[in-house]
Structure 1
Amino acid sequence: MEYTILDGTGIRVSRVALGTWAIGGWLWGGTDVGDAVRAIHEALDMGITTIDTAAVYGFGLSEEIVARALAEKKVARDQVVIATKCGMEWDDKENVWRNSSPSRIRKEVEESLRRLRVETIDIYQVHWPDPKTPIAETAEVFVQLQREGKIRALGVSNYDVQQMDEWRKVAPLHSNQPPYSLFDRRIEADVLPYCRQHGIGVLAYSPLARGLLTGKFTEATTFPPGDSRADEPRFQGEAFRRNLRKVEQLKSLAAELGKTVAQLAVRWVLDQPGVTVALWGARRPGQIAEAAGVAGWTLTDDVRQKIEAIMRPE
């Protein structure tokens, strides 16, 4: 496994982190807790020391599973980096909305600390921008939480350049967590250059495009009830078929390198200047095992060019 330091924090992160959205089950068609715990153990055994979760993932369930897995494994607190997120509120009918008000964040941090069974959260992140709460108010409460020792690094997720600018007027910003993959390169226009310029770590989520870049899908693939991919355009009709054709070409290229398409896709993300960490999601044993083949190599210019050719619009 490869490791690096998150700028401005002294926190040593594994460059592949375990993403636990699916472990929570919400929008993924449910979860099996035993399988989820074993998946986390598998990641830890591989040297993955960074685990990313969120309060809203399974409405607390993902954080609870992470805590259980770490307890059963008897992992020393200083040997794992726990990142979680706040700023989302929900009701008992699973309606979800954004709320980054100071009172909500203070409530959430206490609940996350309790669920995770820790005294300090290593990387605390605002899950989504909240248009109803001034960013300055959110940033200020993060500074207070850091002073109180409840969080270490101050992070955001899904923030654009203007929003990061607003944050940095009030507080340091150590990380941003945006989506980034071969199928979603929007951050290359502004967010990624901005983060490079200002020393803000980038924790890229969905580098496997919600499973599309695992190479395991076919035109016959369907998604269970409750799985939000059933409504995503990139998994529907001609767009899905077009994406599958590209994945097949990437799979052939990866095979020439002795790699899987998932390893190629995540290595591509990690090789982009400014990217600190790539989140590899898993919710059952075996889904994280391929990550072992991501470390210790980089893409050559020739391979990069071939990838670009494959990903050009048809």
Structure 2
Amino acid sequence: MYVETIRIAGIDTPVSRIALGTWSMGGHLWGGADNEQATRTLRHALALGINLIDTAPVYGFGLSEQMIGRALRGVRHSAVIATQAGLHWDDGPPRRNATARRVRKAVEDSLVRLDTDYIDLYQIHWPDSPVAQEETADELERLRREGKILAVGVSNYASTHRDSFSQHTAAATVQPPYNRFERSIDSAILPYARQHDLVVLAYGPLCRGLLSGNLHAQPPFAGDAVRTLDPTFKAPRFEQYLETVAALGIYARERHGKSVLALALRWVLDQGPTIALWGARRPEQLRGFEEAFGWQLTPEDLTNIDRILASTIKDPLGAPL
């Protein structure tokens, strides 16, 4: 099976341009966790050629990392693991904490949960304004030199944060939300990434499942706090997005013989040095990802897609930053 890959500075192994996102595997806000399903999904992803696994300690409060560690026993060499620091929940709800002491503790804890002696890509989950950027970055650089992490990345960072951060350690990636409905990174983050040779790990490329083509007018979101609380999924806006997805699906089939899911992923991949983080909880949810590879959208396609959106979405929302 053909899988497009990209290089991340500091990591020798080329990584798949579709990565497995594991937020939902942790279960919190997603209706609970299933360790057996998670193991099957992770192993299936590797078998398909998806070798980049993205997680974070806060996903299920350590549970997602633990499941990944168990699933990768004996095949750790086949995977590129990306995890994060910067959220602290030891004594209550998660809050930002990117002090040097907390970052080091987070790395040590993640190494244990992931059952590994190094982390390929280590990212700061959110900027922590009270903490000086150089404190966080200097500690990450020390961890990189110690061999506990191979590459450094940032998530949900504005350009001003990244500039001061990069003076103390070389960031290789940036992780923002990005899909055809949510494009706030077009104005600054994406051009910055192109200019500074950063790889963009785009989370939410299917907009919480909207662009999969599998959602309907009466979605069963019981136990799913993420979409239950998201204004995108509330009437009348939700119906506008469903109409758009249906129109995009017709266009994808008639123009390229592809699914709307493949069109949505291809759109993200065509925007630059990007990786699409595909969240899946079950093996069958990875079905069809390979349709996104081996072709490109033309300028005419991009114009037509823009016209479809303009004609169907009357009150769009931006990215949930």
- Shorter-normalised TM-score: what interval? over 0.9
User: 1:1-314 counterparts in 2 under 5 A?
Assistant: 1-7=3-9, 9-71=11-73, 74-75=74-75, 77-91=76-90, 95-256=93-254, 257-275=256-274, 277-312=275-310, 313-314=313-314
> Displacement of 1:11 after TM fit?
4.2
The one-letter amino acid of 2:18's match is: V
Counterpart AA for 1:83: A
Asked if structure 2 preserves the Cα contact closer than 8 Å seen for 1:30 and 1:226, the reply is no
C-alpha contact (below 8 Å) 2:205/2:265 kept by paired residues: yes
Cα deviation per residue 1:34-81 (whole Å; 9 max; x = unaligned)? 11111111111110111001111001111111111112xx31x33211
**Is the contact made by 2:266 and 2:297 (CA closer than 8 Å) also made in structure 1?**
yes
Structure 1 stretches of 4+ moved >6 Å:
none
Contact 2:46/2:78 (8 A) holds in 1: no
For the aligned residue pairs, the C-alpha RMSD in angstroms reads 1.4
Deviation at 1:91, TM superposition (A): 3.9
Contact preservation (8 Å) 1:27, 1:226: yes
What SS class does the counterpart of residue 166 from structure 1 fall into?
helix
Alpha carbons 1:246, 1:311 under 8 Å: kept: yes
Percent of aligned positions with the same letter in both sequences?
A: 46
Alignment check: 8 A CA contact 2:9 2:151 kept:
no
Aligned letter for 1:148? Answer: E
Of residues 241-250 and 288-297 in structure 1, the stretch that sits farther from structure 2 once superposed is 288-297
User: How far did residue 239 of structure 1 move?
Assistant: 1.2
How many Å apart are 1:165 and its aligned residue?
0.6
Moved more, 285-294 or 173-182: 285-294
| Count of residue correspondences | 309
**Unmatched 5+ residue regions in structure 1?**
none
2:11/2:120 contact within 8 Å kept: no
SS of residue paired to 1:287: helix
Query: Offset of 1:240 from its aligned partner?
Result: 0.8
In structure 2, relative to structure 1, the CA distance for the partners of 1:78 and 1:37 (3 Å cut) is closer
SS in 1 for 2:165: helix
Q: Which consecutive residues of structure 2, in runs of 5 or more, have no partner in the other structure?
A: 315-321
Cα offsets for 1:194-253 (capped at 9, x unmatched) = 111011111111100111111111121131225221011101111111111111111111
1:9 to partner: Cα distance: 4.4
Deviation at 1:273, TM superposition (A): 2.0
Q: Distance in 1 between matches of 2:165 and 2:300?
A: 39
The alpha carbon displacement at 1:172 in A equals: 0.9
